[in-house]
Amino acid sequence: MFKVLVIAYYFPPMGLSGVQRTLKFVKYMKNYDWEPTVVTTGSVGYFAHDESLTKEAESSDIRIIRVGAKEPNAILSRFGTIKPPRESVRKILSRISQTIFIPDNKISWSKLALQKVKELLKNEHFDALYVTVPPFSSFYYLRKLKKEFDVPVLVDYRDLWYGSYFAFYPTPVHKTLHKRMEYLSLKAADKIIVTNRKIKEKLIKTYKFLTFNDVVIIPHGFDPQDFENVQPEPKFNDKMIVTYSGIFMEYNTPKYFLYAFKKFVTERPDMASKIQLNFVGYLGKENKALVTKLNLEEFVKELGYMNHKEAVKKIISSDVLWLMVGRKRNIDAILPGKLLEYMGSQKPIIGCVPDGVAKMTLEEYGASFITEPDDVGEIKNTLIKVYELYKKNELPKPDENILQKYRRDVLTEQLTKQLQTIVKKDVL
């Protein structure tokens, strides 16, 4: 077997889709003759800890090395799982953090991870380094190992770095430093993986030394094993269950959907009474207040944060799923991991999204109803259309052949082929 050293801050016991991408890759690597060793963080205070993903990592016989540090999440570790603050507060804290820390507030962990990786490289042979970002600080510091140990580096971009929809640049200096740091990091990479074509195009346009073949697209996906033997919960009424799974922050909000549903309730109370809105995850204080303001409590059911296994069961037990992506800078390059999990369930999806890769993926999926993210009237009319199809048992189904390319095992095979291309020829 070939050996790869995986550097990933976000890894179980932390949860959410960014964690799943790396976990699923390392889970299936041994099927393709690659043995992973994961260097990740130690205990952290976080708003999503996932026991089911932790058990999956442990049962996959993955070697995991944990490195503690003093970044904000580690300092909060004594509080365990913490509820996210109000979105307005989170934005303020995020901007303060981005003003102080460049490129991110995981610098202390990245420096300690660098030392641990150095130690491992001195004592063991690895055929490649695989760095997943964000956090981008790990990519920036670990780039130095390429020359020191003559080891090839593959980086996996889950999101944009320079010009990201999450980025805040309080001064031109911040903007320049981020771009310079990304430039130096990319210079050291032997292969760059991205989740979609938009990120690939933006990287090649921004950094002229990159060629088309330097950047390879491996999208987010779903693990078919997650859906095996999962039975939907029994229904005790004929209500159509519409489910949102995930959190609301930065680029998405339920505001327009809730206003649209209120309009729906006012105009078609007969239909609305037959619909239940499920929210799996943290709805947030602001959004709960909006539900109360609009008098929608009887239609909305907040299920709270659930581990991955439980969330999948709720998705399978739904009639329709809902996704929202708002309007922000470079938002056309975002492909939420939850969208691919939705697709793995083969349920119809209402997608309130702007032009971009998320919209294109929904169009390819086929079993989707697409609206502008903030068009209340269009969302309301879509709800009416979807309910009418539901009553006639005519909701659309996706083409299963299209879904095959998004299987996590298939995507891992693609990743290992890319790792194979950068392994030193004398090893081969």
Neighbours of 344 (CB within 10 A): 21
Cα angle at 23 between 327 and 138, to 5 degrees?
70
Judged against a pLDDT cut of 80, whether residue 141 lies above it is answered with: yes
pLDDT band at 94 (very low <50, low <70, confident <90, very high): confident
Residue 49 and residue 333: Cα distance in Å, rounded? 27
**Burial (0-12, 13-18, 19+ Cβ within 10 Å), 126:** buried
| 61 or 220, higher pLDDT | 220
Quick one: tokens of 356?
A: 């971009």
What residues does CATH 3.40.50.2000 cover in the chain?
2-221+408-422, 225-404
Instruction: Fold for 225-404, please state it.
Output: Rossmann fold (3.40.50)
Indicate whether 105 pLDDT > 80: yes
| 34 or 54: which leads in pLDDT | 34
What b/e string do you get for 266-276 counting C-beta neighbours within 10 Å, with b at 16 or more?
eebeebbeebb
**Under CATH, what is the fold of the domain 2-221+408-422?**
Rossmann fold (3.40.50)
pLDDT band at 394 (very low <50, low <70, confident <90, very high): very high
Q: What is the pLDDT of residues 265-285, one digit of tens each?
A: 999 999 999 999 999 988 888
One DSSP character per residue, 149-192 reads HT--EEEEESS-STT-TT---SSHHHHHHHHHHHHHHHHT-SEE
Report the alpha-carbon distance of residue 28 to residue 59 in Å, rounded: 12
* Mean pLDDT in residue range 290-310: 93
Bridge partner residues of 277 (DSSP)? 242, 300
Given a cut of 90, whether residue 120 has pLDDT beyond it is yes
Q: Which residues contact 11 (CB under 8 A, 6 or more apart)?
A: 19, 22, 23, 38, 40, 41, 57, 64
- How much is the pTM? 0.91
Label the pairing between strands 34-41 and 2-7: parallel
Nearest-angstrom CA–CA distance, 27 and 413:
11
Q: How far apart are the first and last CA of the chain?
A: 11
- Checking if the pLDDT of 349 tops 70, the result is yes
The position carrying tokens 């002229």 is 208
Residue bearing the bigger pLDDT, 32 or 83:
32
Query: Tokens 């990933």 sit at which residue?
Result: 8
Tokens coding 318: 């739904």
Where would I find the H helices in 63-222? 72-75, 87-100, 107-123, 136-142, 145-149, 172-187, 197-206
Residue with tokens 């996959």: 60
Q: Which residues contact 283 (CB under 8 A, 6 or more apart)?
A: 248, 254, 291, 302
